[in-house]
Structure 1
Amino acid sequence: MPGVGTGDVVGEPDAERMVAEPAKDSGYGRSPYQRDRARVLHSAGFRRLAAKTQVHTAGTDDFLRTRLTHSLEVAQIAREMGGRLGCDPDIVDVAGLAHDLGHPPFGHNGEDALDVLAQGCGGFEGNAQTLRVLTRLEAKVLRPDGGSAGLNLTRASLDATCKYPWPRRPGQPKFGVYADDADTFAWLRRGGPGDDTRCLEAQVMDWADDVAYSVHDVEDGIHGGYLRLRLPPLRTDPDERAALCADVAGRYSTESAGALAEVLVELLADPVLAPLVDYDGSHRALAALKATTSVLTGRFVAAAVGATQDRFGGGPLRRYAADLVVPRRIRAECALLKGMALRYVMRRPGAQGWYERQREILTELVEVLVARAPEPLDPVFAPLWKAAPDDAARLRVVIDQVASLTDPAATAWHRRLTAAG
């Protein structure tokens, strides 16, 4: 690959960068991974997460999480968990901060819409897009040929962001690299086991993401009034419990619905969930709700750390020296909380019409950009469109442009460009 160099630390492949850079900050003693963390924090893509949907549409409530606040929380959980295992804390921090940089407007609904629209260039997946943002689309370092090397992060930090380190495969919806990023992917995986194994830091980030997703989305659902009224019927209605467990088994868990139902009964009886039913938005209720989220987060993290140390020893554990071990019961509890957010928040009455409108906005926006490019494209993307060798490559540039937009920007672009037509 053009521009491959030894990076900050000669002889340490984990610290290599795709484009060699002179040593910096020697007087401050910053590690290569601390520099990586700073690059993600200061990136344009990271700032845009402030106006991208987590579960609720960004900007609809000051309490609710966005992709930015979610990413900060994932990074904090991952850093603490990784540190306890012996990982380099800055590597897992980078992975937590960066893991959602590729997510498009309108959350997972937008991701699904763009995957349909991008079939002509290999589809769309938020994690594959994250790799593209980090190594190609962000403006920080140029390759010797003048092309972009993105943030030019170290190999270890890039590898830690790869939740799904494989290309798209039939019947496997999740993947982490597009075909035209294969060379970059091969470089960052160099020195690994040569298969689909994820490094420990990526596994820590992935579990931190699950923990934050499950606990915090339930917290937001309680605050928004969508979930607390559902908990008493769940305790008394076996049919409703069965329906929830069927949702979870179909989307979030490898456990059977029957096995999940047993865990759900015990989880609903756990006193830690009691404040969720009595929530009224008062200061006392907010404190009780926060205590619940803290207990659940601590439970999920401690279980994974303890089980991993029991199997692999006290550490330090890092890179490919161990796999994260999460007890089945803990995974089931986490999946059930995610299922509550899915069933009672994302699928709440009245939400479907807005989801359909989001898909219409993205579909029409991609269509108009394909028809009129390069003129409407940002100055970053217009030259890439002009240099693209074929229709598939030009479509990928359009998808990159749309994926980069925030929720409000996507709506504004759609309004402006469709009105102009």
Structure 2
Amino acid sequence: MSTTGSYSARDRERWVAEDPAHKRADRDDFARDRARLIHSASLRRLSAKTQVVQPGSDEFARTRLTHSLEVAQIGREFGAALGCDADVVDTACLAHDLGHPPFGHNGEAALDAVAGAIGGFEGNAQTLRVLTRLEPKRWHQDGRPAGLNLTRASLDATTKYPWQRGEAPVPTPKFGVYAGDLPVFDWFRDGVAPGRRCIEADVMDWSDDVAYSVHDIEDAIASGSIDPGLLHTRAEVAVAFDVAKVTYAPDLTEDDFAAALDRLLATGVIPLQHNGTRQDLAALKDMTSRLVGRFVLWVEQATRARHGDGPLTRYNAHLVIPDEVRAEASVLKAVAAHFVMFADERIAVMERQREVVVDLVAGFLTDPGRLDRDLRADFESAPGDGARLRVAVDQVAALTDARALNLHRDWAS
């Protein structure tokens, strides 16, 4: 693995050696990774998967696909400014949510409970499984699938949590690889200290945080779920500080979040009202643009102050995220979570979604003939009950929100 700041020939190696006839001499390996991802079915399916609210419930709100495109736009420019290969960062950003199941994190929690006996479920670990096994593109000589067969650098950049469950360097339920996918993980992580993340993964992760902290607030205001005047009232926002601490920044305090809110309001970009007029929508977009720029530039400057002006790539640097900007992003995420995702009217909907996920896994285990044909073959060759359960989980994780609901309705009728 390159540790000098340049991308080595080894970073461009693939899990499966390719026939030169499949290559194009005028395309770089990293650009080819990006092209493979863009043409994948897994990326297309994100257009019908929940980001915050279900696709189709609001014409303005983002889906997992539009979110991923926006993360990639932020990450590509941010990474390039730091000297990263733009295609590596772009690929990581586009891929980062491929493993997310229907119904967002709610569906993820349901699958994790169902799969507890086989190592659980985690959207990031599922992303690696999609990229290296489930998405059809290349095969090993012995017939094993190799997924999209991306380069080492692209797979490493996509791995937000480079450890197995329970092996994180800090306490977190998050992890990035299942035990069954360790061979390819060990291959692209060869020579890297356990738990250490490359800077391209740092850029992807922060671009994701920036995108959904700002865009979720934009969606909530535009849809009428949040009155922007609420953000100008300390007492109203303070009820979300517990969410900020528990879910997003456990090392920060209520005073940190209060000061972050003050700084956000002092920018003057958060509107006092929103009535859906063209002028109000323009003001909302201006807020989004300015906050994204603020969060990215702040981190870019802090990282450059630590590591200097040269190209920052792979393992020669890490992203520096000041507590102040992390607190600001956490406040925005917490407000959207508290007033939209965890709102009382959403509780019954979320319970029903979890029931759908659990029922579908059970249904596919009982009647594997309903599995998609590629996964049916995996089920038939599975060596035991645990491996068969993993296939059923793979199937449900791949479903869009609409297909999950339609299948459940058809089976129940």
TM range (shorter): over 0.9
8 Å CA contact 2:12, 2:153 repeated in 1 = yes
Aligned residues: 403
Q: Which has the higher contact order (CA 8 A, sep 6+)?
A: 2
Q: Which residue of 1 aligns with 2:9?
A: 12
Quote the residue 1:4 is aligned against: none
User: In the alignment, is the contact (CA less than 8 A) between 1:245 and 1:258 conserved in 2?
Assistant: no
RMSD over equivalenced CA pairs, Å: 1.6
Deviation at 1:263, TM superposition (A): 2.1
2:243 pairs with one of 247, 252, 267: 247
Contact 2:228 / 2:273 at 8 angstroms: preserved in 1? no
> Could you tell me which residue of structure 2 aligns to residue 203 of structure 1?
202
Superposed displacement of residue 261, structure 1 = 1.9
Matched, 1:79 2:67: no
2:107 pairs with one of 106, 110, 120 = 110
Q: Report the Cα offset of residue 259 of structure 1.
A: 2.2
Shift of 1:349: 3.2
Shift in Å, 1:30: 1.0
Matched, 1:403 2:403: no
Query: Which secondary structure state, in structure 2, belongs to the residue aligned with residue 163 of structure 1?
Result: coil
1:313-352 aligned at under 5 Å gives the runs 313-352=308-347
Identity, in percent, stands at 53
- CA distance in 2 between counterparts of 1:377 and 1:128 reads 21
Counterpart for residue 377 of structure 1: 371
Alpha-carbon separation, structure 2, partners of 1:355 and 1:302: 36
How far apart, in 1, do the equivalents of 2:207 and 2:350 lie?
Answer: 27
- Whether the 8 Å CA contact 1:159–1:202 is kept in 2: the answer is yes
Q: Whole-Å Cα distance in 2 between the matches of residues 11 and 249 of structure 1?
A: 40
Give yes or no for the alignment of 1:177 onto 2:157. no
Query: Is the CA contact (8 Å cut-off) linking 1:51 and 1:67 kept in structure 2?
Result: yes
- The aligned residue for residue 7 of structure 1 is none
Contact 2:256 2:324 in 1 (8 A): no
Question: After alignment, is 254-263 or 216-225 more displaced?
Answer: 254-263
Decide whether the 8 Å contact of 2:230 with 2:237 is kept in 1.
no
SS in 1 for 2:392: helix
- Structure 2 residue 135 is matched with structure 1 residue 147: no
- What residue is the counterpart of 1:6 in the other structure? none
Change beyond 3 A, Cα 1:300–1:11 = closer
Number of the residue aligned with 2:282: 287
Per the alignment, residue 85 of structure 2 pairs with: 88
Q: Which string of whole-angstrom CA distances, capped at 9 and with x for unpartnered residues, describes residues 86-125 of structure 1?
A: 0000000000000000000000000001000111211000
TM-score by length of 2: 0.94
Q: Which residue of 2 aligns with 1:3?
A: none
SS of the equivalent of 2:269 reads helix
Cα distance, 1:283 vs structure 2? 1.1
Please, which of 62, 65, 69 is the counterpart of residue 68 of structure 1?
Answer: 65
> 1:44-94 CA distances to partner (integer Å, 9 max, x unpaired)?
000000000000101112211000000000011000000000000000000
Partner in structure 2 of residue 33 of structure 1: 30
Measure, in 2, the Cα distance between the counterparts of 1:114 and 1:197: 27
**Residue 301 of structure 1: aligned partner:** 296
1:158 is matched with 155
Match of 1:134 among 127, 131, 135: 131
Q: Structure 1 residues 11, 319: CA separation in 2 closer, same or farther (over 3 Å shift)?
A: closer
1:208 deviates by 0.1
Instruction: Report how far residue 226 of structure 1 moved.
Output: 1.1
Is the 2:49–2:103 contact (alpha carbons within 8 Å) kept by the matching residues of 1?
yes
C-alpha distance in 2, partners of 1:317/1:24? Answer: 33
2:13·2:152 contact (CA, 8 Å) conserved in 1? yes
Counterpart amino acid of residue 343 in structure 2: R
Partners of 2:323 and 2:91 in 1: CA distance = 27
Residue 312 (structure 1) aligned with residue 307 (structure 2) = yes
Q: Would the aligned equivalents of 1:369 and 1:376 in 2 still touch at CA under 8 Å?
A: yes
Q: CA separation in 2, counterparts of 1:268 and 1:353? A: 34
Q: Is the 8 A contact 1:235 1:268 kept in 2?
A: no
Rate the CA distance shift 1:133–1:26 in 2: closer, same or farther, 3 A.
closer
* 1:168-206 superposed Cα distances (whole Å, 9 cap, x missing partner): 0076310000000011110010132x2201000000000
1:100 is aligned to 2:94: no
Letter in 1 for 2:212: Y
| C-alpha distance in structure 1 between counterparts of 2:155 and 2:71, whole Å | 16
Q: Distance in 2 between matches of 1:173 and 1:320?
A: 25
Query: What is the aligned partner in structure 2 of residue 212 from structure 1?
Result: 211
Cα separation, partners in 2 of 1:130 and 1:27, compared to 1, 3 Å? closer
1:406 aligned partner, one-letter code: T
Question: Cα deviation per residue 1:186-242 (whole Å; 9 max; x = unaligned)?
Answer: 0010132x220100000000000000010000000001111125615x5252xx443
- Residue 55 of structure 2 corresponds to residue 58 of structure 1: yes
